[in-house]
Amino acid sequence: MVQCGWAATRTKGTYLRSKYDSLVGRRGKKKALIAVGHKILIAAYFILKDKVNYKELGGEYLEKMTKEKQVKRYLKRLSELGVEVEMKKIA
């Protein structure tokens, strides 16, 4: 699984590469590779169990999810402080 994780981290613009990049700074290269291998194993299990095709989430998936969580957290914190905020989506 580590070899599969290593190969997956060498592809550009994929979810597994961005997952590796996000983990390597916090945990180190070896633990990040193990985590990516674990992600591959979990994906393979559900692909075989449910008989579905692999769906690539893309390299921007983690960044998008992080932004959405940050916005929700900041809005909640501002409302706790008594500040009323109006959201406007910028394209």
pLDDT at 89 > cutoff 80: no
pLDDT of 19:
93
Report which secondary-structure segment, H or E, holds 41.
helix 29-50
Compute the distance between CA of residue 15 and CA of residue 9 in angstroms, rounded to an integer. 9
Tens digits of residue pLDDT in 24-68 = 999 999 999 999 999 999 999 999 999 999 999 988 888 888 888
Tell me what percent of the residues of the chain surpass a pLDDT of 90: 64
In sequence order, which residues have a C-beta less than 8 Å from that of residue 78 and are 6 or more positions away?
85
**Environment class of residue 5 by beta-carbon count within 10 Å: exposed (0-12), middle (13-18) or buried (19+)?**
buried
pLDDT of 68:
86
pLDDT of 91:
65
